[in-house]
Amino acid sequence: MGPGRGGEVEQTTDQDGTAPEGGTRTAPAARDRQGMFGVRGSGDTSGFGGLRLPGYAPAPAERPYGGWFDEFADEFAEALLERGIPRGAVEQVTVDRGEITFYVQREHIVEMCRTLRDDPALRYELCSSVSGVDYGADVDRRLHVVYHLLSMTFRRRIRLEVVLDVDDAHVPSIVEVYPTADWHERETWDMFGVIFDGHPALTRILMPDDWEGHPQRKDYPLGGIPVEYKGAEIPPPDERRAYS
């Protein structure tokens, strides 16, 4: 292992492109934190002030992970092997802030979820959330789809994460495995523009059907957009009136 971009630790890989823990995912490029409170001269009254946060990706984890994570990882790997899902389907394993995350290739997400739900040693019966993250235009594979899974049998939570290019923001829908993902996938499409192939009705859920763009993408404007139904317009933060 060695230092990656921005001081992150990247995992070395074997000749076939995989690592002992599947670490083939690259971290977002480092960015300087700037803006937010204390900014002067912008006219911003929102408290935003052009905040920019550095891209952050936890380093790949190494064994032992600790707690029940090691036992689970072994059972998960065995279940994937039994179902013919290749080792490289897991790009990286990360343990951060007491949570374990498996970065997985999008083409295997449905069968991986089915394995987690049906295998008697795993039994992740509930997908409690599907959400999106956009790391910004200067980051490769900037869109992330995050799945929170819960085993009510074993009282354990894990996360799956799929990383996408913004120009190819497609990932298979998991509604056939977890029906609760229906509304969550619609919201992720609405806010981030991730297309869930095979979703039964991928339509807007928060914005009007004819709305242009996806409001939680980092390249979406913070103002200067006409307000629906009122004919008004909210100016961008740096053009708003300052009160001090």
E strand or H helix at 94 = strand 90-96
Per-residue pLDDT reduced to its tens digit, 59-94 = 899 889 999 999 999 999 999 999 999 989 999 999
d(CA 147, CA 202): 18
d(CA 156, CA 134): 27
Tell if the pTM clears 0.75, that is, is over it: yes
Tell me, what's the pLDDT at 76? Answer: 96
Per-residue pLDDT reduced to its tens digit, 215-229 = 999 888 776 666 655
Tell me, what's the pLDDT at 116? Answer: 97
Close Cβ partners of 152 (under 8 Å, ≥ 6 residues apart) = 123, 125, 126
All structural domains of the chain, each given as residue ranges with its CATH number in brackets, are: 2-239 (3.30.460.80)
d(CA 39, CA 213): 28
Low-confidence ranges of the chain (pLDDT < 70): 1-57, 223-232, 235, 237-244
Residue of 193, 205, 198 whose CA lies nearest to 177: 198
Per-residue pLDDT reduced to its tens digit, 149-161 = 999 999 999 999 9
d(CA 107, CA 3): 29
**Partners of 136 in beta bridges:** none
